[in-house]
Amino acid sequence: MPNLLSIVCLKFDRWRCLLACLLLLPVLTLAQGRKPLWHSTLDSLQALERQPQSDSSRIQLLCRISDQLWASDTEAAARYSRRALALARRTHNRRGEGAALNRLGAALRESNLARALELFQTSLRLAEQVQDTTLQAQNLRSIGIIYVYLRDRQLGLSYYFQGLRLDSLLRDERRIVVDLSNIGLAYDLYNQTDSAAYFQERAYALAQRLHSSTNYILYGLGNVARKQARFPEALGYYRRSIAESKRRRHLRSLNFSYLGMAALYQQLNQPDSSIYYARLGAQAARANGFLRGVLNASVVLTQEFEQRGQLDSAFRYQKLLVAMKDTLFGQEKVMRLQNVDYLDRQQQQQAAAEQQALRGRYQTYGLLAGVGGLLLLLGLLVRHDRQQQHTNAALQTSLAELKEAQLMLVQREKMAFLGELTAGVAHELQNPLSFVKRFADVSTTLVDEINGAQQLARDGRLEREILDGLKQNLQNISQHGQRATAIIKGMLEHARTGQQPRQLVSLNHLAQENLLLAYEAVQQQLPGFVAELRTAFDAELPEVAVVAQDLGRVLLNLCTNALHALHQRQLTAGAGYQAVLEVGSRHLPEGRLQLWVRDNGAGMSPEVQQHIFEPFFTTKPVGEGTGLGLSLAHDIVVNGHQGSLQVESGVGEGTTFWLTLPAGTA
400 falls within a domain: no
Contact 247, 37 (CB under 8 A): yes
Q: What is the pLDDT of residue 8?
A: 35
pLDDT band at 490 (very low <50, low <70, confident <90, very high): low
Q: Report CA-CA distances (Å) from 447 to 269, 473, 475, 494.
A: 21, 12, 11, 39
H/E stretch holding 396: helix 381-453
Q: What is the pLDDT of residue 514?
A: 92
Q: What is the pLDDT of residue 278?
A: 85
Range in 69-78, 559-568, 594-603 the model is least confident about: 69-78
Q: Would you say residue 94 has pLDDT above 70?
A: yes
| Cα 122 to Cα 104: distance, rounded to the nearest angstrom | 12
617 falls within a domain: yes
Range in 41-50, 246-255, 572-581 the model is least confident about: 41-50
Q: How would you list the strands of the sheet with 593-599, edge to edge?
A: 532-536, 580-587, 593-599, 654-661, 644-650
pLDDT band at 317 (very low <50, low <70, confident <90, very high): low
Give me the mean pLDDT over the 220-241 stretch. 93
Please name the residue ranges forming H helices in 91-211.
94-108, 113-129, 133-149, 153-170, 173-189, 193-210
Q: Report CA-CA distances (Å) from 289 to 66, 77, 107.
A: 15, 12, 10
Residue 628, judged by CB atoms within 10 A of its CB (0-12, 13-18, 19+), counts as buried
Quick: pLDDT tens for 335-363.
553 453 345 445 546 656 777 777 777 78
Q: What is the pLDDT of residue 382?
A: 80
Selected residue with higher pLDDT from 542 and 372: 542
> Considering Cα of 60, then 289, then 213, then 247, what sign does the dihedral take?
positive
Selection from 183-192, 359-368, 385-394, 620-629 with the highest mean pLDDT: 183-192
Give me the mean pLDDT over the 145-174 stretch. 87
Selected residue with higher pLDDT from 454 and 619: 619
Q: What is the pLDDT of residue 18?
A: 35
329 falls within a domain: no
Range in 115-124, 134-143, 611-620 the model is least confident about: 611-620
pLDDT band at 114 (very low <50, low <70, confident <90, very high): confident
Mean pLDDT of the chain: 77
| Cα 42 to Cα 26: distance, rounded to the nearest angstrom | 27
Give me the mean pLDDT over the 537-541 stretch. 89
pLDDT band at 368 (very low <50, low <70, confident <90, very high): confident
Q: What is the pLDDT of residue 300?
A: 79
217 falls within a domain: no
Quick: pLDDT tens for 638-656.
887 888 999 999 888 899 9
Q: Would you say residue 486 has pLDDT above 80?
A: no
390 falls within a domain: no
| Cα 474 off chain centre by | 31
| Cα 153 to Cα 147: distance, rounded to the nearest angstrom | 7
Q: Would you say residue 611 has pLDDT above 90?
A: no
Range in 32-36, 546-550, 574-578 the model is least confident about: 32-36
Range in 323-327, 512-516, 631-635 the model is least confident about: 323-327
Range in 218-222, 237-241, 522-526 the model is least confident about: 522-526
pLDDT band at 406 (very low <50, low <70, confident <90, very high): confident
Please name the residue ranges forming H helices in 526-577.
548-570
Q: What is the pLDDT of residue 309?
A: 73
pLDDT band at 445 (very low <50, low <70, confident <90, very high): low
DSSP, residue by residue, 575-593: TT---EEEEEEEE-GGG-E
Share of the chain above pLDDT 70, in %: 72
56 falls within a domain: no
| Cα 508 to Cα 295: distance, rounded to the nearest angstrom | 42
H/E stretch holding 609: helix 606-611
Selected residue with higher pLDDT from 325 and 629: 629
| Cα 341 to Cα 419: distance, rounded to the nearest angstrom | 11
As for how many domains the chain has, the answer is: 1
| Cα 559 to Cα 547: distance, rounded to the nearest angstrom | 19
Selected residue with higher pLDDT from 56 and 350: 56
Selected residue with higher pLDDT from 443 and 626: 443
Q: Would you say residue 285 has pLDDT above 70?
A: yes
Q: What is the pLDDT of residue 626?
A: 55
Start-to-end C-alpha separation, the chain: 57
Domain that holds residue 539: 499-662
Q: Would you say residue 588 has pLDDT above 50?
A: yes
Give me the mean pLDDT over the 388-409 stretch. 78
Share of the chain above pLDDT 90, in %: 27
30 falls within a domain: no
Q: What is the pLDDT of residue 487?
A: 61
Q: What is the pLDDT of residue 204?
A: 94
Residue 8, judged by CB atoms within 10 A of its CB (0-12, 13-18, 19+), counts as exposed
Nearest to 241 by CA among 252, 229, 230, 227: 252
Dihedrals φ, ψ of 654, to 5°?
Answer: 100, 180
574 falls within a domain: yes
Q: What is the pLDDT of residue 628?
A: 64
Domain containing residue 581: CATH number: 3.30.565.10
Quick: pLDDT tens for 205-228.
999 999 999 988 999 999 999 999
Nearest to 586 by CA among 655, 502, 660: 660
